[in-house]
């Protein structure tokens, strides 16, 4: 492989936002049911963008973002991890590549100062903990973790999405005080803040990164991939689909005019891009 070619993917997967350096890292690709992934959208439409296998499964990325502010190393989202129960691992796959991907940026688990989870479904916080001697302990021992308190409470309510919650991904951290439960929108460190955008769950938070007049937003499951840009292309997993549409409108009303970089949690190929409206008013991605 030529030097130019080997540099190409790396260049696409890191970007500067003002003084911050962002790297897209991935826990790997897993599989989701295409019908569930695209909700009420007919397959004749979504299959033009994404191809399903013989079991109607589509590939989805487990995408994290590393933010280096110069003072802190911040990890947004921790994939599906390596502790899935056997049945879930069979259904979804368990690539478990995040620590290796982090290593390729030159950092190890000890170097992470802050972990932010958008919400606590298993495919967003799996590497929060690892099992040692049968006990779940922090994968990132020096990090403080952040999630919304409402999301943590919901995880214990046993509602429609209860199968998506694995308590050992967060309860040991809450008990030890290593996970901070937030009560709404908040700045975590200068330039990095969280904002609650309901729809997928009531308390899912997006992570907003602002530096030097530029901005990027990890929008998580509110807009999971670049194939989900249209307002009503929402996932069947969403607990409050009408609120998904309202939250998307609110997001685009700022992200499009202010040229925010939108970061996708489950896009298998495209970690980020700029959402725009084309001449006919359709939402499109510029990468």
| Enclosing H/E stretch for 208 | strand 205-211
Q: How far is the CB of 5 from Zn ion (least distance, A)?
A: 35
Task: For residue 57, give Cα distances in angstroms to 117, 221, 257.
Answer: 26, 18, 35
Q: Which residue has the tokens 């922090």?
A: 138
Q: How far is the CB of 40 from Zn ion (least distance, A)?
A: 18
Nearest CB to Zn ion, comparing residues 23 and 205:
205
Q: Which residue from 13, 83, 97, 121 is in contact with Zn ion, where contact means CB under 5 A?
A: 121
Q: How far is the CB of 140 from Zn ion (least distance, A)?
A: 21
| Enclosing H/E stretch for 46 | helix 43-46
Please work out the total of residues on this chain that contact Zn ion, with binding judged by CB under 5 A. 2
Does position 83 interact with Zn ion (CB under 5 A)? The reply is no
CB 191 within 8 A of CB 232: no
Nearest CB to Zn ion, comparing residues 221 and 243:
221
| Piece in contact with Zn ion (CB under 5 A), picked from 82-90, 91-99, 121-129, 173-181 | 121-129
Nearest CB to Zn ion, comparing residues 178 and 265:
265
Residues 192-231 vs Zn ion: string with x where CB under 5 A? -----------------------------x----------
Q: For residues 143 and 24, give the distance between their C-alpha atoms in angstroms, rounded to a whole number.
A: 19
Q: For residues 259 and 195, give the distance between their C-alpha atoms in angstroms, rounded to a whole number.
A: 18
Q: For residues 281 and 287, give the distance between their C-alpha atoms in angstroms, rounded to a whole number.
A: 18
Closest CA relative to residue 191, chosen from 102, 13, 70? 70
Nearest CB to Zn ion, comparing residues 105 and 148:
148
In the DSSP assignment, the letter for residue 281 is S
| Piece in contact with Zn ion (CB under 5 A), picked from 114-122, 140-148, 186-194, 253-261 | 114-122
Nearest CB to Zn ion, comparing residues 17 and 88:
88
Contacting residues toward Zn ion, per CB under 5 A:
121, 221
């Amino acid at each position: 492989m030529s030097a130019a070619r080997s540099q190409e993917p790396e260049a696409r997967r890191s970007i500067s936002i003002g003084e911050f350096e962002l790297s897209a890292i991935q826990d790997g690709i897993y599989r989701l049911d295409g019908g569930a992934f695209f909700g009420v959208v007919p397959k004749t439409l979504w299959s033009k963008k994404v191809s399903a296998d013989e079991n109607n499964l589509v590939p989805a990325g487990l995408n994290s973002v590393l933010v280096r502010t110069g003072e802190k190393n911040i990890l947004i989202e921790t994939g599906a991890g390596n502790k899935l129960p056997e049945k879930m691992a069979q259904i979804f796959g368990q690539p478990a590549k995040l620590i290796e991907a982090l290593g390729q940026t030159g950092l190890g688990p000890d170097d992470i100062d802050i972990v932010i989870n958008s919400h606590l479904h298993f495919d967003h916080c799996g590497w929060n903990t690892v099992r040692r001697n049968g006990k779940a302990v922090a994968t990132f021992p020096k990090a403080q973790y952040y999630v919304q308190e409402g999301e943590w409470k919901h995880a214990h309510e046993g509602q429609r999405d209860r199968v998506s919650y694995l308590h050992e991904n967060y309860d040991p951290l809450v008990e030890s005080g290593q996970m901070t439960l937030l009560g709404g929108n908040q700045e975590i460190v200068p330039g990095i803040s969280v904002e609650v955008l309901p729809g997928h769950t009531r308390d899912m938070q997006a992570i907003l990164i602002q530096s030097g007049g530029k901005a990027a937003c990890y929008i998580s499951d509110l807009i999971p991939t670049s194939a989900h840009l249209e307002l009503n292309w929402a996932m069947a997993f969403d607990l409050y689909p009408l609120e998904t549409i309202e939250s998307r409108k609110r997001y685009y009303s700022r992200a499009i005019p202010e040229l925010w970089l939108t970061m996708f949690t489950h896009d298998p190929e495209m970690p980020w891009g700029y959402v725009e409206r084309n001449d006919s008013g359709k939402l499109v991605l510029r990468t």
